[in-house]
Amino acid sequence: MDSRHPVNTRLPAMLRSGQPLRGIFNGLPSPAIVEMCAYAGFDFIVIDNEHGSADFETTENMLRAARASDIVPVVRCFESDISRVLDMGASAVQIPMVNTAQHAERLAQMVRYPAQGRRGSAFSSRAAGYGAFGGDAHTQRSNDGIALIVMVETPEGVQNADAIAAVDGVDAVFVGPNDLSHSMCFGSNWGAPEVQAAIEQAVRAVVATGKCAGVLALTPEDEKKYSAWGARYFASVTTGIFTRALKQAAQAGRGDDVQLKY
């Protein structure tokens, strides 16, 4: 791939590789944090526009930082923002609360250009190099090199995980344990056996279709457990890491335990 091209198109192949991928959610509106995550060695970063505070201009600058530092940028966004985020140069979109195969099919259509989908075409965007990389080559590069990751976060989504994963155009399915736990009436206790069983059910169903399964993994122990179920796309959270490190620095020598909720 031309290193000058605005869009990093490595992710679909990475998701098909069978290798574990380690990334990180970031909701803080900072291109510098994107670069820090790249230099730390993460495979990908999820720019969190569902719960984060970045506006579109800052999001685009974070995507520039990702391209410059060579980390694959995924943007978690709402369905209505897919077109704009992709035109800014995201390598993938990660869409929350996907409960049915029909919803996943609609999203896949929005991510790909015709004839594979119905994404609106414009070559004046950053993704097309403001025209420098437009035309049929941009269309093909995008259809081949942009990934769609959908999130299963409810009991309905868990029950439909195999059908969702089987949708042509879905590259990975990520299980969101916090929302799943809340939707199962366990609050923030996603370590509850019932919630863990639902996560395992979803992960194994996705893997059985041949697609990549992902889940939030905040510790090496989490990653090891979910790996045994077949998950390969793991993510932690910048704010949790930052807050833990800051609390440890602030409380060093005072004997206070650092316990955080995410």
Tens digit of each residue's pLDDT (9 = 90 or more) over 116-145: 999 999 999 999 999 999 999 999 999 999
Three-state secondary-structure class, residue 81: helix
Cα angle vertex 40, ends 38, 62, to 5°? Answer: 30
pLDDT tens profile 56-100: 999 999 999 999 999 999 999 999 999 999 999 999 999 999 999
How many C-alpha atoms does 251 have within 13 Å on its Cβ side? 11
- Average pLDDT, integer, range 3-21: 95
Of the residues 51, 103, 138, 182, which is catalytic?
Answer: 51
Q: What is the mean pLDDT of the chain?
A: 95
- Active site (annotated) includes residue 103: no
- Average pLDDT, integer, range 243-255: 87
What is the spatial distance between Cα 123 and Cα 166, in angstroms, rounded to a whole number?
31
Percent residues over pLDDT 70 in the chain: 96
- Of residues 50, 54, 15, the one with CA closest to residue 31: 54
Three-state secondary-structure class, residue 134: coil
Beta bridge partners of 46: 25, 74
What six digits make up the tokens of 111?
Answer: 């991510």
* Amino acid of residue 123: F
Beta bridge partners of 233: 21, 214
pLDDT of residue 4: 83
H-type alpha helices, the chain: 11-16, 31-40, 56-69, 82-88, 101-111, 136-145, 155-159, 161-165, 177-183, 193-208, 220-229, 238-251
Between strands 172-175 and 212-216, the pairing is parallel
